[in-house]
Chains A and B, each alone.
Chain A
Amino acid sequence: MTAPRTLYDKIWDDHVVHQAEDGTCLLYIDRHLVHEVTSPQAFEGLRMTGRKVRAPEKTIAVPDHNVPTTLDRANAATMTEDSRIQVAALDKNAKDFGINYYPVSDIRQGIVHIVGPEQGWTLPGMTVVCGDSHTATHGAFGALAHGIGTSEVEHVLATQTLIQRKGKNMKVEITGSLRPGVTAKDITLSVIGETGTAGGTGYVIEYCGQAIRELSMEGRMTVCNMAIEGGARAGLIAPDEKTFAYVMGRPHAPKGAKWEAALAYWKTLFTDEGAHFDKVVTIKGEDIAPVVTWGTSPEDVLPITGVVPAPEDFTGGKVEAARRSLEYMGLTPGMKLSDIEIDTVFIGSCTNGRIEDLRAAAAILKGKKIAVKRAMVVPGSGLVRAQAEEEGLAQIFLDAGFEWRLAGCSMCLAMNPDQLAPGERCAATSNRNFEGRQGRGGRTHLLSPAMAAAAAITGRLTDVREIMKESV
């Protein structure tokens, strides 16, 4: 009889290729996702050493960070020279090394973390890596998924393994149910508000509890996506019937006898009764409110009903950091968060660019007009975009005054032309509010798609529950 194990322990154990005496492990990687920004130096490394991609059939590439999202993007002039070179390098590397590829012209193109699950590459119990910190997203399927640097990208390309030491286990339990107007984004931001951005450092988080079970797969991806913002490289949710239903029938999901075998294995992927967690955080679902960030760290999060804090409300190094944040954000302590006026609304990203996110925003926007200078929706993939058009969501966005864009990372990190001007204030469904993240001098408030839609209508940060009341 073996000791009770966590979900993380089980996936880890099943992927150890070799363990050294000092505990360093060689971990097998089932899926390697690749995008244009963090891979060119890795492919160059392979060329210089004459190495090949060990498992091209397990390697999937898609350009997302640099690509323009305007409708005229087929025109090369919409890209800067260096962006064009980077995307062209991925085109060439995918071809030369024979890996799976979704070029810009393919309707399946989109943000790598949306494409992976959508195409059925991401499956429960797998190890999934990508040269991108938001790889944590795939943990929603009960896959051990995390970001890696470019040297490790090269290592995985060449060996299909990673050199790893095992992290610690952390449990984040969200009990009970969420109240109306509260979403997965509010859960994940509230957890970071509670633990801080370094609270998860060295841990793999397993999210559990009734409120997590009640989330759709899209919502679970939103929660796991931001595990990294809490410092944890990976976030996990045990697979269940919702997971299996989502995966079934996807292009690269197993079929027939393989499906049955996979399903039997996937049903063993849960934390055993009595398994040890090194850290436990419990939050009541009922206590979570719609939240927004006020500062320049994802831990700077408060319920929308709150006020801007003062630096003196903090201790240690955070006092100076808060002072700097408030100055950068142009905010005065004591002002109501719901009085903060917004210039721009951005709905999209690997955090909130899936169909359910667009449905949530459209439900608030239906029949209304925006009161901000500009607002854009950037679907997470070409297929999400097509589905939203079919469901009539695109028309709701267009009627409200939103721009309806093509798929990509867009203004989440502003590597393409979608950027904020200095001082421009944005309500964004993305994942980072760092200084300059959405453009130098740009000011970012993170929130859920429903809250972003509410802000678009009123022109200020707004409690979505007020809008919901009006609509009843």
Chain B
Amino acid sequence: MQKFTTLTGIAAPMPLVNIDTDMIIPKQFLKTIQRSGLGKNLFDEMRYTQDGQEIQDFVLNQPAYRKTEILIAGDNFGCGSSREHAPWALLDFGIRCVISTSFADIFYNNCFKNGILPIVMPQDVVDVLMADARKGANARVTVDLPSQTVTTSDGQSFPFDVDPHRKHCLLNGLDDIGLTLEKAASIDSYEKSLATLRPWA
């Protein structure tokens, strides 16, 4: 997994609430058996017409936001399906951080497995960041994971919370499976106890 330490980049405003995973990556793109290559279809139905032309109004099609690395989004971002294709598509596009007032649980969890940092901020802070993102390409937001701060283009800084274990994994690009396999002895002994406690399981 790619490490996440500090990121300074263009932030795009997506104030719509309840942006679901079907919007982030529609189902016709879930038929891949790979993780990469989904960036071109990120937000496909909002981004392109049925015949594949770009929809000018859509934020990521505007010249200022074509190289977006941070999304500032409305409430409950990533609701709906468990498809990890959603963070894969964001990552493949180049987006490494999403900031919102709230995220759906499974999506939030999936982000950390892919080197994407989802940040929950209170409404008033999201409002400030949304306004900053609307300034366009010259307004670069900085996300600093070690110090847990987000800094706007004009230098306003806001702290954020992140689970210490997840922070550690992101900072070091650690693979969860490798970490868990270090505890194989615990799993062995749990399974042994299962044979007497719940033999039907």
Contacts and interface: CB of A to CB of B under 8 A. Distances in A.
A144 to B, nearest CB: 13
A41 B30 CA distance: 11
B169 to A, nearest CB: 9
B163 interface: yes
A275 interface: no
Contacts of B200: 123, 254, 258-259, 261-262
Nearest to B190: A17
B30 A37 contact: yes
B84 A201 contact: no
Most chain A beta-carbon neighbours within 10 Å: one of B81, B186, B187 = B81
B165 A20 contact: yes
Contacts, number: 187
A40 interface: yes
B186 A26 contact: yes
Contacts of B198: 14, 125, 262, 265
Contact of A40 (B22, B33, B83): B33
Most chain A beta-carbon neighbours within 10 Å: one of B27, B83, B102, B104 = B27
A299 to B, nearest CB: 8
B163 A435 contact: no
Interface in A262-284: 262, 265
Contacts of B53: none
Interface string B166-201: 000000000011011101101100110010011111
A160 interface: yes
B106 A147 contact: yes
Interface string A123-139: 10110000111010000
Contacts of B7: none
Contact of B17 (A123, A151, A321): A321
Interface residues of A, number: 79
Contacts of A303: none
Contacts of B104: 198, 201, 231
A321 B18 contact: yes
Given A18-B183, A123-B201, A415 B106 contact: no
Contacts of B30: 37-38, 65, 415
Give the size range of B's interface with the partner: 35 or more
Contacts of B191: 28, 160
A324 B186 contact: no
Contacts of A413: 27, 81
B113 A261 contact: no
Contacts of B35: 41, 150
A319 to B, nearest CB: 10
A126 B201 contact: yes
Contact of A198 (B79, B109, B183): B79
Contacts of A20: 165
Contact of A159 (B17, B181, B197): B181
Nearest to A434: B22
Most chain B beta-carbon neighbours within 10 Å: one of A40, A65, A151, A265 = A151
Contacts of A86: 31, 33
Most chain B beta-carbon neighbours within 10 Å: one of A24, A28, A80, A422 = A28
A125 B26 CA distance: 35
A14 B23 CA distance: 38
Contact of A149 (B26, B106, B201): B106
A159 B34 CA distance: 22
B33 A151 contact: no
A151 B110 contact: yes
A85 B26 CA distance: 19
B80 interface: yes
A85 B34 CA distance: 12
A51 B180 CA distance: 13
Most chain B beta-carbon neighbours within 10 Å: one of A149, A265, A320, A437 = A149
Contact of B109 (A80, A152, A297, A422): A152
Contacts of B22: 432, 434-437
A301 B109 CA distance: 28
Contacts of B147: none
A165 B163 contact: yes
Given A155-B176, A155-B177, A297-B18, A198 B27 contact: no
Contacts of B81: 132-133, 147, 413, 432
B75 interface: yes
A254 B106 CA distance: 32
Most chain A beta-carbon neighbours within 10 Å: one of B18, B74, B109 = B18
A331 interface: no
A17 B83 contact: no
A126 to B, nearest CB: 6
Most chain A beta-carbon neighbours within 10 Å: one of B16, B106, B179, B191 = B106
A22 B169 CA distance: 14
Contacts of B45: 435-436, 440
Contacts of B165: 20, 22, 24, 163
Contact of B79 (A18, A26, A197): A197
Most chain B beta-carbon neighbours within 10 Å: one of A24, A65, A197, A441 = A197
Given A82-B32, A86-B33, A89-B33, A148 B82 contact: yes
A125 B198 CA distance: 10
Contact of B164 (A22, A167, A316): A22
Which 4 pairs of residues, A with B, have the shortest CB-CB distance?
A: A254-B200, A151-B113, A147-B82, A317-B17
Given A66-B31, A317-B74, 12 more contacts: A14-B197, A22-B165, A24-B165, A65-B30, A149-B110, A163-B180, A197-B76, A231-B76, A321-B74, A415-B27, A436-B45, A437-B22
9 contacts: A22-B165, A26-B186, A123-B201, A159-B180, A163-B180, A198-B102, A261-B200, A317-B75, A435-B45
Interface of A: 14, 17-18, 20, 22, 24, 26, 28, 30, 37-38, 40-41, 44, 49, 51, 54, 65-66, 80, 82-83, 85-86, 89, 123, 125-126, 131-133, 135, 146-152, 154-155, 158-161, 163, 165, 167, 197-198, 201-202, 228, 231, 233, 254, 258-259, 261-262, 265, 297, 316-318, 320-321, 324, 413-415, 422, 432, 434-437, 440-441
